[in-house]
Amino acid sequence: MSEEQFIETRNSSSWQLPAIIVLGLVAIAGLGFGWNASSKLDTTQQAVTAQLKTTEQTVQQDMSSLKDRIAQDEKANTDLQGDLKVVTDKLKITQGQLRKARKEAAQLNDQTTQKLSALDTSVHTELATKAATDDVKNVDTKVTAVSTDLNSTKEDLKMAKSELGTLIARNHDEVDQLRRLGERDYVEFTIAGKNKPQKVGNVTVELKGVNQKKNQVNIAMVVEDKRFEKKNRALNEPIFFYLSGTHLPEEIVINKVGKDQISGYVSIPKANAQPTSASTTSGK
């Protein structure tokens, strides 16, 4: 081999080795970069998968909650419709009872007028048939008494009337006048002090508050174990209530107020009358 060929071969080997090393480093760097990119891609994919799963669970929970709310709303709507039907039915019954009571009140007024006319006619007939002076004097006495009764009854008819046609007594004397008519029973009462339930006829009455300036009262009533509260009720304003199995209402009227004290009466139709008296019970 010539000296020139040896030198050429030696020069070629000297630059190939570094080139191979550089290429190897580049290849190793490429593999490392690819592995790192692949790891990041796997991590990102796992994170996205976990987030999607969490989102799916959240959406399912929201859908379940929404379904529950819709079911609750549907149930509440059904209950409200049922309550509305019950209230509507009761309102129809109450309106029917009100019309019946008004009709009975009108008939009662007609009967009272007829009785007064018949009594007046009877007195005049008796006067016309009496000839003797003593008899005339006796008849005059009867006429005076009858006239007094007639005037008293006419004054009774001038009392204020409730929406159901019942007469409203404003004091003890007017209560006595209503008793003489004999159409209803009347139980008078006085309650002194708040929160002291008192049995009056068929109802228990409890004073809750008094507004003397406005003549208004707040009371609680217990009728057949059912409690009702009546607020801001005016003086001489009747409060009606029904007992089970009855068609005519009973009524409470407060006709006098004082400081933590009220007086009034309970009006009871003869058909509802039972042996009752006012008695005090301890408040609970």
Domain ranges of the chain: 1-158, 172-280
Concatenating the DSSP letter of every residue in 215-283 gives: TEEEEEEEETTEEEEEEEEETT--EEE--TT-SS-EEEEEEEEETTEEEEEEEEEGGG--S---EE---
Calculate the average pLDDT of the chain: 77
Is 262 within 8 Å of 210 (Cβ atoms)?
A: yes
pLDDT for residue 149? 58
**Is pLDDT of 278 > 50?**
no
- Listed in sequence order, the residues at least 6 apart from 108 whose beta carbon sits closer than 8 Å to its beta carbon are 165, 183
Q: How far is CA 236 from the centre of its chain?
A: 24
Q: What is the pLDDT of residues 142-169, one digit of tens each?
A: 656 655 655 555 454 556 776 677 888 8
pLDDT for residue 284? 34
For residue 204, give the H/E element and its range.
strand 203-211
pLDDT for residue 56? 80
For residue 185, give the H/E element and its range.
strand 184-192
**Is pLDDT of 282 > 60?**
no
Is 254 within 8 Å of 267 (Cβ atoms)?
A: no
With cut-offs at 50, 70 and 90, classify the pLDDT of residue 283: very low
With cut-offs at 50, 70 and 90, classify the pLDDT of residue 60: confident
Domain 172-280: which topology?
A: Tick-borne Encephalitis virus Glycoprotein; domain 1 (2.60.98)
pLDDT for residue 2? 55
Q: What is the pLDDT of residues 214-264, one digit of tens each?
A: 999 999 999 998 999 999 999 989 999 999 888 889 999 999 999 989 999
Q: What angle do CA 163, 169, 171 make, to 5 degrees?
A: 150
CB burial of 132-160 (b: ≥16 within 10 Å; e: otherwise) equals: eeeeeeebeeebeebeeeeeebeebeeee
Rounded to the nearest 10 degrees, the angle between the axes of helix 3-129 and helix 133-157 is 170
Report CA Rg, the chain: 49
Q: Flag the least confident range among 81-90, 126-135, 253-262.
A: 126-135
pLDDT for residue 221? 92
Distance separating alpha carbons of residues 12 and 131, to the nearest angstrom: 178
The single-letter code of the amino acid at 265 is: Y
pLDDT for residue 281? 36
pLDDT for residue 167? 83
Residue 162 tokens read as: 């409730």
The more confidently predicted of residues 34 and 124 is 34
CB burial of 11-48 (b: ≥16 within 10 Å; e: otherwise) equals: eeeeeeeeeeeeeeeeeeeeeeeeeeeeeeeeeeeeee
Using a cut of 0.75, tell me whether the model's pTM lies above it. no
**Is pLDDT of 197 > 70?**
yes
For residue 104, give the H/E element and its range.
helix 3-129
